[in-house]
Amino acid sequence: MTWEMVIGLETHVELATKTKIFCSCTTAFGGAPNTHCCPVCTGMPGTLPVVNEKVLEFAVKAGLALNGEIARSCKFDRKNYFYPDLPKAYQISQLYLPIVRNGRVPIRTPSGVEKTIRIHELHMEEDAGKLVHDPWIDQTRCDYNRCGVPLIEIVTEPDFRSAEEVIAYLEKLRSTLQYLGVSDCKMQEGSLRCDVNLSVRPAGAEELGTRTEMKNLNSFKAIARSIEYEARRQIEAIEEGKRVVQETRRWDENKDATFAMRSKEDAQDYRYFPEPDIPPLEISDGYLDRLRAEIPEMAEAKAARYQAEWGLPAYDCEMLTGQKALADFFEAVVELGAPPKQAANWIMGEVLRRLSAGGLEAKDLALTPKTLARIIQLVQTGALNRNTAVKVFDAVFESDGDVDAYVEAHGLRQVSDAGLVADVVAQVLAANPKSVEDYKGGKKKAFGFLVGQVMRELKGQASPQVVNQVLQEELDEL
């Protein structure tokens, strides 16, 4: 039997505000445990929450960019449950009147699948704290620094049919939110976390299977692997005549498997009721128009502009605009005089190579556009050949060092003196009569060998064009 997986996502995005959603405590990542909290975010009796206006602004901008319907009136609700990292014993969220409904996100996967993912809703809420288990003393302690950090939760319809589609959606979502500036989406710091609801059914069936929920996945790799594992686990269970249990499961990266955490029924008694300390939020047409006008040029629009203005291939444009920081870096290099195609080649080749090797993102670059533009200029003017330029790039990448000073200090400036090159060519031809004879006999590979010998004698610093020209002239005269 052929099986089909059905997946819906709940994505929690930490907003890039400086302070929390209902108080003035900092949202900075890190800090000693329990030093970024106050009576409001820890729920002390008698305290009152005040809505951070920037949270509403970011939520509305995200809703607009995701093609959603913005509610003109929305309100907060209390979700009541006890958990050690939730000191108030309730979470302020939105259930009945969320800020955004009915969004749409078009995606295209690497294998060519194109579809639109429906957004059921986007709502604002506060984050809970964090439990830290110390195995040495066998104790679990609470860090409340994260309590009250503002989140938007983006809930999709069950529109995904593969892990590939899920990753394509999340990459598109991350790019969109980063372009808007509403979140840094650093998964390693918990700024973007994903819950995966997954079930399987026979291909072509209409009825949904029993779903499980995998909580708090914080890397694309973990999300893809957990989806593949969980689908396989459910299919094997059904084929063996067993029942899939509706439950919450956790992904164990070391064991490459999911494990049951707790049962999850459809009707959980969170005793939602309207948040009594926060009045409904009314959104005017003027407010919406202002925020709509502030939405920046997004990735698709940038890619189209790069193609139209600079004639770059579609692949280059897609790569360059995938991260806002990378697109900003590219545009700055071009503004400094680098030809767009040359700048694109260096960024997609050398810059992304070093970022990948260091596990970094474009926003972590120490290298400045000015430094890369100077390297490209030195190659264009013939002061450096491409191979030497790459060595210089690697040398200055982490420190953004002075390119010219490094070139001079290491004697890397390219040799373009035809007279000097001619002397070396003469020495190489005299030392390799067999290769000269092979070339004269029609073996064109011998020419490449001789070029390599000349370049080696000149320590790779000669202009390839000059070497080829002088060598050809000398061989033609023999």
List all residues 6 or more positions away from 393 whose beta carbon is below 8 Å from its beta carbon.
346, 350, 372, 375
Number of H helices, E strands in the chain: 16, 16
Count of other CB atoms within 10 angstroms of residue 402: 13
Task: Spell out the residues 6+ positions from residue 277 whose beta carbon is closer than 8 angstroms to its own.
Answer: 48, 49
pTM of this structure:
0.83
Q: What is the pLDDT of residue 385?
A: 84
Per-residue pLDDT of the chain (478 residues; tens, 9 = 90+): 899 999 999 999 999 999 999 999 999 988 899 999 999 999 999 999 999 999 999 999 999 999 999 999 999 999 998 888 999 999 999 999 999 999 999 999 999 999 999 999 999 999 999 988 888 888 899 999 999 999 999 999 999 999 999 999 999 999 999 999 999 998 888 899 999 999 999 998 999 999 999 998 989 999 999 999 999 999 999 999 999 999 999 999 888 899 988 776 555 678 999 999 999 999 999 999 999 999 999 999 999 999 999 999 999 999 999 899 999 999 999 999 999 999 999 999 999 999 999 988 898 899 999 999 999 999 988 888 888 899 999 999 999 999 999 988 888 776 665 676 788 888 888 889 888 888 888 888 888 888 888 888 877 777 777 778 878 887 877 6
By CB atoms closer than 10 A (0-12, 13-18, 19+), residue 311 is: exposed
Tell me how far CA of residue 425 lies from CA of 383, 417, 421, in angstroms: 20, 12, 6
CA dist 47 and 260 (Å) reads 38
Task: Give how far Cα 293 sits from Cα of 65, 74, 178, 296, Å.
Answer: 12, 22, 17, 8
Q: What does DSSP say about strands 257-263 and 247-252: parallel, antiparallel, or unpaired? A: antiparallel
As given in the structure block, the two tokens for residue 346 are: 């260096």
Beta bridge partners, 273, equal 78
Radius of gyration of the chain (CA): 29
On whether the CB atoms of residues 144 and 42 are closer than 8 A, the answer is: yes
CA-angle at 43, arms to 30 and 192, nearest 5°: 40
> Using an 8 Å Cβ cutoff, are 379 and 385 in contact?
yes
Tokens 């579609």 appear where?
A: 314
Q: How far apart are CA 41 and CA 391, in angstroms?
A: 51
Which tokens go with 279?
């009045």
- Residue 33 confidence (pLDDT): 93
pLDDT at 366: 95
**Amino acid identity at 140:** T
